[in-house]
Chains A and B, each alone.
Chain A
Amino acid sequence: MMEWLRRPWPDHRAERTLGAVSLFVFVVVVAMAVFVATKAWPIFQHNGLSWLSGGGDLESEINRMTVATTKPAAAVYHLRAWPLIYGTLLSTAFALVLGLTIAVLASVFFVELAPVRVSRVVIPMVRLLASVPSVIYGLIGILVLVPFVGQNLITTHERESVQNVIQLTGAGLAVTVVILTIMITPIMIALICEALASVPPSWREGAVALGLNPLRAVRAVTLKAIRPAIVAAAVLATARALGEAVMIQMVSGGKSFAPKPVDGVVFFFEPLRTLASAIIDYHDGIGSPALGASVYAWALLLLFSAFALSVTGYLVKLPLRKYQTRG
C-alpha cells in the first residue's frame, strides 16, 4: 500500500485525485446552502415569505422567542424582520454612494493629479487601510466617535423630541455610515486605481488633443472605459458592507429600530440594527428552536444576497465587455 502511494503517480490518477479534491469546495458551498436553509426552514414554514416585511414589533417578537424554550407554539415563530433588512439597506446604500464617490474622486486624484511621490506613499497606506481588521474600526468608533456624537452633536432638544419612542446615545446611523464608508472605500480605490492606470494614455491624450481640459478628458474617456472595474469595485464593496457584523454591532446602538427619515436630522442619530449585527447579538440563543431558526433565516438572507450580488455584478459587466481596456 505504501509502495503504491510512493511510486510516481500516473497522470490519470493524479488528475482524478486533484479533481476530486477540488470539488470539495463545491461540496462545501452546497452544504452551506443546504444546512443554513434547513435550519431556517421553521421560519418559512410558519411565516411564509412575509417574515421579510414589517408591521410587528421585532423586539417583542424576539423576546417571545427567547423565553420560549422547547417545542414552542406556532405563534412564537411569528417574525417580521423588516427593521433588520431596512437597517442593512440604509447603512449599505449610504456607505456605497458616499464611498463610490469618494473612491472615484480620490482615484482620479492619485492617478492623474497628484505628484508621483505623494501617490507612491499614499497608495500603500490606502491598501493597508483595506486590511485593517474591522474590530479595530469598531474600537475607534465606540471609544471616539460615539461619545463625540453623543455628547457634542446631539442636542437636548433633539433627545426630547424622540424620547417617547427611542433614546439617542450617539451610537446610530451616522457613526455606522461614516465608519462603513471608511472601511469600503480603500477596497474600491485599489481596484479603480489599478484600472485607471491600465487605460492607455493615448486615449486620454486624444481627448485632450480635441480640446477637452484634462479633467474633462478623464471623465469623458477614462472613467467610461473603466466602467467594468467600477462595477466590480461596487460589488466587492457592497459584499463587504453587507457582511460587516462586528463593527456595526459595536457602533449601531443595538436596537431593532427602523430610523425614520421624517425625523429630519435626528434620523441620522437614531439607532439601528442590521441583519449581520443581529446575528452577532442573538447567536447565543441559537439553541432555542425559534430564535435559532430566526438567526439561520437571517444568515440565509445574507448568503442569498451575496450570491445575488455576484451574479448581478457578472451580468452588469457582460455588456460592458466591449469597453474593456487592453491589458
Chain B
Amino acid sequence: MHRIRRLSVALTVAGVLGVAAPAAANATPLVTISGATSSYPLVDLLANKYVKLHPHKVRFKITQGGTTVGLANVKDGSDTIADVAQEPNGSDAGLVFYPIAKYAICVVTNKSNPVTNLTPAQVTSIFTGKTKTWSSALGGATASGPIEVFTRTSVAGVLTSFKSLLLEGKSVESAATEESTEGQLRQAVESAPDGIGFLSNYQANKGGLNAVEFNGVACDQATAASGQYQGVADFYEVTKGDATGAAASFINWIDKSPAAKKIIASQWILIG
C-alpha cells in the first residue's frame, strides 16, 4: 500500500520534470520592450501584427514608463528594446538607434477654446510662463482666464523633442502640471477649459481636443509628411549594441515589410 503510494509520487515527479525540461528548452524567445508612451500604440500594433504573421517565433512584453526609463532599462540589460521618441544625445554611447517612423508634435487646447493659431513666439512665451492669461492679444478669439499649462514628466521623449523643435530650446515653466503619460496629458487638457499642452499627432487628432495651428500650419499627418510642419521628430527602437536574434528580425521586419509600412502610414509618417 505504502509502496504503491511512494511509487506513484515518484512517477508524478518524474513526469512533471520530464515535461518541463524539454518544454523549457523549446520556449519561444521573449523580447521585452519599454519606453515612450507616445510610440506605444504604434509598437503595440506592429508587435501584434508580427506575431500574427510569424506565429510561435517570438513573444513580446511591452511596457511604457517614458523614453528615459526605456533607455535606462536597455542600458542595464533588463529590457531588450527601448521605444524612444527623442534624438540620441551624448549619454547614449553604446546604444544603437533604429528609426522606425516619424511623428508630429501638436500644441493642443481644450475643445471649448476658440483659438486656432499661435505663432512660435506666442507658444514659447505661454509654455515658459511669460504669458499668463488667455486674451485677445494672442490673436483672435480665445478662452478667458489664467492659462493652465500641462507638460510631461522629465522621462518623456516627446518633451525633449518639443523643447528642441517648438520651444526654441527653452524649458517649460516649473509651475506647469506634469503628467506621466500622453493619455493623461490628453485627459488633463480635455477636462480643463483653460488648458494647453502638447501631444504626438496620433493622440492630438483623436478628437476631443483642439489641435492648434503652429505658425499658420495645421498639425496633422499630411503637413508633417510634406515637411511643411515644423515639429516633426522620429520614433526609434534602441538596443544595446547592434540588435541580435529575435529583436533584430523584428526591427528588420518593421524596416522592410509592406505590412509594417501600412500600419505606420495609417496614423504616423513613414521614414524616407
Contact = CB atoms under 8 A, between A and B. Distances in A.
Are A and B in direct contact (Cβ within 8 Å)? yes
Nearest to B71: A69
A160 B72 contact: no
B256 interface: no
A200 interface: no
Contact of A63 (B5, B72, B154, B180): B154
B148 interface: yes
A134 interface: no
B148 A167 contact: yes
Contact of A59 (B65, B78, B129, B174): B174
A327 B146 CA distance: 62
A37 to B, nearest CB: 23
B2 A160 contact: no
B71 A147 contact: no
A114 to B, nearest CB: 41
A287 B73 contact: yes
A57 to B, nearest CB: 8
Contact of A163 (B5, B91, B132, B191): B132
A164 B73 CA distance: 36
B69 A284 contact: yes
A154 B130 CA distance: 23
A165 interface: yes
Contacts of A66: 68-69, 153-155
A3 interface: yes
Contacts of B129: 164
Contacts, number: 67
B177 A167 contact: yes
A7 to B, nearest CB: 12
B149 A167 contact: yes
A156 B147 CA distance: 11
A254 B177 CA distance: 9
B62 interface: no
Interface residues of B, number: 32
Given A167-B149, A287-B73, A67 B175 contact: no
Interface string B61-76: 0000100110111011
B6 interface: yes
A288 interface: yes
Nearest to A64: B154
A172 to B, nearest CB: 12
Contacts of B149: 167
Nearest to B5: A2
Interface string A285-310: 10110000000000000000000000
A82 B72 CA distance: 27
B219 to A, nearest CB: 24
A165 B91 CA distance: 31
Interface in A120-168: 147, 156, 159-160, 163-167
A166 B146 contact: no
B175 A165 contact: yes
A247 to B, nearest CB: 18
Chain B binding surface, main DSSP class = mixed
A86 to B, nearest CB: 18
A70 interface: yes
Contacts of B188: 169
B69 A255 contact: no
B65 A284 contact: yes
Contacts of A253: 177
Nearest to B177: A167
B154 A287 contact: no
Interface string B177-194: 110100000001001100
B225 interface: no
Given A3-B2, A66-B154, A287 B78 contact: yes
Most A CB contacts (10 A, CB to CB) among B145, B175, B192 go to: B175
Given A165-B175, A167-B148, A167-B176, A2 B6 contact: yes
Interface string A50-67: 000000010100010011
B78 A166 contact: no
A141 to B, nearest CB: 15
B2 A255 contact: no
Contacts of A284: 65, 69
Q: When A and B form their complex, which 7 residue pairs have the shortest distance between CB atoms, in order from nearest?
A: A69-B72, A63-B154, A159-B146, A160-B146, A167-B177, A284-B65, A288-B72
11 contacts: A2-B5, A66-B68, A66-B154, A66-B155, A67-B155, A69-B68, A156-B146, A163-B132, A167-B177, A287-B69, A288-B69
Interface of B: 2, 5-6, 65, 68-69, 71-73, 75-76, 78, 91, 129, 132-133, 145-146, 148-149, 153-155, 174-178, 180, 188, 191-192
Given A163-B175, A281-B180, 11 more contacts: A66-B154, A67-B155, A156-B145, A160-B146, A164-B175, A166-B175, A167-B149, A167-B176, A169-B148, A253-B177, A287-B73
